């Protein structure tokens, strides 16, 4: 029963990590018109939480030392819930930006903590648990993208109510995590579990920097697609609802690769094959969209490629470390630097869209980022690094 409870907690927390960001995309045009936002300013609604995920990820290590992974995740869920719920009361741009900031801080803390949580409870099942973790994130993204417009219609055209609805996910997860945090605290106080040991950020480790660069390029592509795929489809003459449905298809198609590719990488140990293969599918999808191929078909390679790369990026720091503390430090560093770099993606797309008046040039720029990603993937190679503890000390 305890194992089931821990897996359930992991799934419920993971479901919260994308809706505050992904629910905005199908409603982006409406939000822009209502608040009078330019393309670049609107892109901040996605860029800001991603940037927060980079800046605040290292603080997760300190919180974990003080409260344990479980208690720190409780705080992260509270921040996500408040940030998302406040969107119901948005009347002007500053408050909307603040909600993105607050939810971004919560997501920033939760990401490395959940990686450490997996290493702590499932040291011999990392690939499977990362698959479940990332699949739950994609499911949260898929549900929020697919239901944002229908919820808006159901709530009398209120995009604010539609966005705020996703705070319910945090409200559902919190009781589970509060119980888990209390149980873990009791065990630590009674000496049943060892005290949390500090592991420094691996800033002197070249391998960690390579993984950070990969994570950043992967994130830049992923969040550019999250923010601008639906508006780009609308620019081809499709309705807001159709564009939202295609973006939902994009996330749904990514589910199988999100779940199974980490397991395949773990089994066959050919990481370059899976990394470059997924990146090539992303490149094909972006070029298809620019060549006016049906966006329903474009969603297929984009979904498979992005769905496969994200869990591999999450798995690499866990897989190359020796314990939960090192996994937390490596994940904090790769996600911190990676998300800061990744935040530039949606911002650049919005800027190029404003500059050229078209998504075509912007998405060719995205294709260049994918090519750079492939070069970094080749540097990662198939072999894992050795003696992580010695190198980072």
More confident residue, 124 or 216: 216
- Residue 369, judged by CB atoms within 10 A of its CB (0-12, 13-18, 19+), counts as buried
Would the pLDDT of 200 be above 80? no
- Among the residues of the chain, which ranges form H helices? 2-15, 19-22, 28-35, 39-55, 59-85, 93-121, 126-154, 159-164, 167-189, 206-234, 240-268, 271-290, 295-319, 324-342, 344-356, 359-380, 388-392
- Residue 374, judged by CB atoms within 10 A of its CB (0-12, 13-18, 19+), counts as middle
pLDDT tens-digit profile of 135-193?
Answer: 898 889 888 988 998 999 999 999 999 999 999 999 999 999 999 988 888 876 666 55
Q: How far apart are the C-alpha atoms of 296 and 294, rounded to whole Å?
A: 5
CB 119 within 8 A of CB 126: yes
Tokens 């939810």 appear where? 103
User: pLDDT grade, residue 391 (50/70/90)?
Assistant: very low
Would the pLDDT of 5 be above 50? yes
User: Closest Cα partner for 88 from 182, 13, 174, 151?
Assistant: 151
More confident residue, 365 or 78: 78
- Which range among 50-59, 151-160, 198-207 has the greatest average pLDDT? 151-160
Tokens 């609308």 appear where? 234
Q: How many CB atoms lie within 10 A of CB 351?
A: 17
User: pLDDT grade, residue 209 (50/70/90)?
Assistant: very high
Q: How far apart are the C-alpha atoms of 130 and 380, rounded to whole Å?
A: 19
Mean of pLDDT over the chain = 86
User: pLDDT grade, residue 226 (50/70/90)?
Assistant: confident
Would the pLDDT of 195 be above 60? no
pLDDT of residue 9: 94
Mean local confidence (pLDDT), 352-362: 86
Q: Is the dihedral of CA 367, 373, 375, 378 positive or negative?
A: negative
pLDDT of residue 388: 46
Lowest mean pLDDT among 35-44, 83-92, 280-289, 308-317: 35-44
pLDDT of residue 192: 54
Mean local confidence (pLDDT), 67-72: 88
User: pLDDT grade, residue 385 (50/70/90)?
Assistant: low
Share above pLDDT 90 across residues of the chain, in percent, rounded to a whole number:
37
pLDDT of residue 383: 66
pLDDT of residue 196: 52
User: pLDDT grade, residue 389 (50/70/90)?
Assistant: very low
Query: Residues 33-36: contacts with CB within 8 Å, 24+ apart?
Result: 34/159, 35/92, 35/93, 35/96, 36/93
User: pLDDT grade, residue 67 (50/70/90)?
Assistant: confident
Mean local confidence (pLDDT), 300-321: 88
Would the pLDDT of 1 be above 60? no
User: pLDDT grade, residue 390 (50/70/90)?
Assistant: very low
pLDDT of residue 82: 96
Would the pLDDT of 207 be above 60? yes
User: pLDDT grade, residue 393 (50/70/90)?
Assistant: very low
User: pLDDT grade, residue 194 (50/70/90)?
Assistant: low
User: pLDDT grade, residue 197 (50/70/90)?
Assistant: low
């Amino acid at each position: 029963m305890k194992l089931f409870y821990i897996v359930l907690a992991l799934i419920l927390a993971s479901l919260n990590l994308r809706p505050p960001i992904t629910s905005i995309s199908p409603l982006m045009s409406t939000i822009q018109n209502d608040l009078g936002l330019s393309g670049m300013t609107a892109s901040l609604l996605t860029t800001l939480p991603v940037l927060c995920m980079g800046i605040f990820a290292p603080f997760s290590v300190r919180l974990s030392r003080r409260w344990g992974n479980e208690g720190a995740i409780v705080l992260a869920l509270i921040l996500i819930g408040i940030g998302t719920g406040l969107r119901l009361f948005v009347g002007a741009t500053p408050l909307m930006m603040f909600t993105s900031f607050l939810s971004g801080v919560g997501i920033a803390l939760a990401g490395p903590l959940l990686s450490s949580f997996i290493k702590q409870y499932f040291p011999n099942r990392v690939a499977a648990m990362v698959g479940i973790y990332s699949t739950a994130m994609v499911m949260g993204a898929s549900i929020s993208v697919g239901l944002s417009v229908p919820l808006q219609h159901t709530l009398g055209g209120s995009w604010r109510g539609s966005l705020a609805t996703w705070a319910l996910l945090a409200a559902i997860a919190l009781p589970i995590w509060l119980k888990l945090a209390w149980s873990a605290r009791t065990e630590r106080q009674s000496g049943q579990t060892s005290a949390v040991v500090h592991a420094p950020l691996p800033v002197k480790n070249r391998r960690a920097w390579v993984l950070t660069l990969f994570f950043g390029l992967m994130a830049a592509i992923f969040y550019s697609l999250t923010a601008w795929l639906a508006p780009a489809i609308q620019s081809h003459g499709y309705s807001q609802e159709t564009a939202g449905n295609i973006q939902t298809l994009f996330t749904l198609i990514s589910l199988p690769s999100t779940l199974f590719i980490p397991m395949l990488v773990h089994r066959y140990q050919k990481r370059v094959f899976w990394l470059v293969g997924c990146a090539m599918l992303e490149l094909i999808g972006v070029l298809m969209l620019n060549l006016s191929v049906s966006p329903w078909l474009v969603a297929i390679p984009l979904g498979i490629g992005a769905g496969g790369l994200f869990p591999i990026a999450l798995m690499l720091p866990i897989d190359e470390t020796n314990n939960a503390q090192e996994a937390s430090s490596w994940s904090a560093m790769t996600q911190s630097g990676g998300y800061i770099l990744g935040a530039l993606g949606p911002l650049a797309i919005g800027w190029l869209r404003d500059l050229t008046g078209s998504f075509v040039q912007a998405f060719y720029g995205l294709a260049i980022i994918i090519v750079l990603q492939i070069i970094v993937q080749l540097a990662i190679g198939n072999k894992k690094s050795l003696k992580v503890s010695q190198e980072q000390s």
